[in-house]
Copies of this chain bind each other. A is one copy, B any other.
Amino acid sequence: MRITVINPNTTETMTAAIGQIAKAHAAPSTEITAMNPARGPVSIESFYDEYLAIPEVLKLVRQHDAESDAIVLACWGDPGIDAVREMTTKPVVGIAEASMYAANAIAPRWSVVTTLARSYHMVEHVVKKTGLGDRCASIRCVDMPVLDCDENPDAVLQGLEQGGRLALQADHAEAIILGCAGMGGMEAALSQRLGVPCVDPVAAGVRFAELLVGMQLTTSKRLTYRPPEPKLRKGMEDSQD
C-alpha cells in the first residue's frame, strides 16, 4: 500500500518529522511518501495561508494520485479536503477528522488544543464540518505559532499541558487531541503529564488511511465528489478549451 502524506506548508523539516511519524505508524508493508509543495506559506495559521496552500496541494495530488492508494492531508484543518476528494477515487483522509474519530472512541468528550489563539474559529469550523460538535468539550489554544512546535518544543508541550489541564478541569474533557501536525510526537509526554490519552493526529491520519484502503473503500463519486467538470480554467494547468 502506498500512502501519500501531504504537508500543506513548505517547511521541509516539518514534512520530514511528519513523514517519520507516519512511517512509525504505518504497517511494514505500507510505503509512505511525505511531501510538501515547493511554493506557499511555511506554516498555516490563517485562512489566508490555507487558501494559498491549497492549489499547491492540489497540484501534488494530481501528480501523485496514480501512484497512491490513499492521500493524507497532514494539517489540522483538513485544508482543501473536499477538492482532493473530487480529484481522486482513492480514500482521502484529513488528520483532523481521523484524530476526532480516535478520540471519540476512547472518551465521551474530548478537547482540541491547538497553536495560535486566532485559530479558535478555524478549529471550531473543522469540528462542526466533520459533524462531531456535540462530542467536542472545548477548544483551547497554546497561543504560540506553528513553527514553535519545531523550534521551541518544550514551550509548546508546556502550553499543551496548561491548555489540556483547563480542558479537563473546566470543560469536562476526558481526552486531548493535539490540534496541529507539528505537535506530533508530543502525545506520550502530554498523556503522562495529564493522565489521559492524547491523540497524535498524524498517526491517526495514516492509520485511518490504511483502514480505508484495507476495506477497499473509495471516495463516493455519486454526487458531491464527482470529478471536476472539464472546462476552461484560464492560465491553469488542467484547462480544457
Contact = CB atoms under 8 A, between A and B. Distances in A.
Contacts of A235: 38-40
Interface size classification for chain A: 35 or more
A86 B46 contact: yes
A66 interface: no
Contacts of A87: 48
Enumerate the 3 nearest inter-chain pairs by beta-carbon distance, A residue then B residue, closest first. A39-B235, A47-B82, A48-B228
A118 B231 contact: no
30 contacts: A39-B235, A40-B234, A41-B231, A41-B233, A42-B234, A45-B228, A47-B86, A51-B51, A51-B54, A51-B55, A51-B58, A52-B233, A107-B220, A107-B224, A117-B223, A120-B172, A120-B223, A121-B224, A131-B131, A131-B134, A131-B135, A145-B229, A174-B225, A195-B222, A196-B220, A196-B222, A199-B215, A203-B215, A207-B210, A208-B211
A34 interface: no
A214 B45 CA distance: 30
A2 interface: no
A162 interface: no
Nearest to A129: B125
A173 to B, nearest CB: 8
A108 interface: yes
A97 interface: yes
Number of identical protomers: 6
Nearest to A99: B215
A110 B219 CA distance: 12
Contact of A106 (B39, B118, B220, B232): B220
A183 interface: no
A218 interface: yes
A216 B220 CA distance: 31
Nearest to A198: B217
Nearest to A27: B27
A45 B83 contact: no
Contact of A208 (B58, B105, B135, B172): B105
A176 to B, nearest CB: 9
A58 B54 contact: no
A37 to B, nearest CB: 8
A120 B55 contact: no
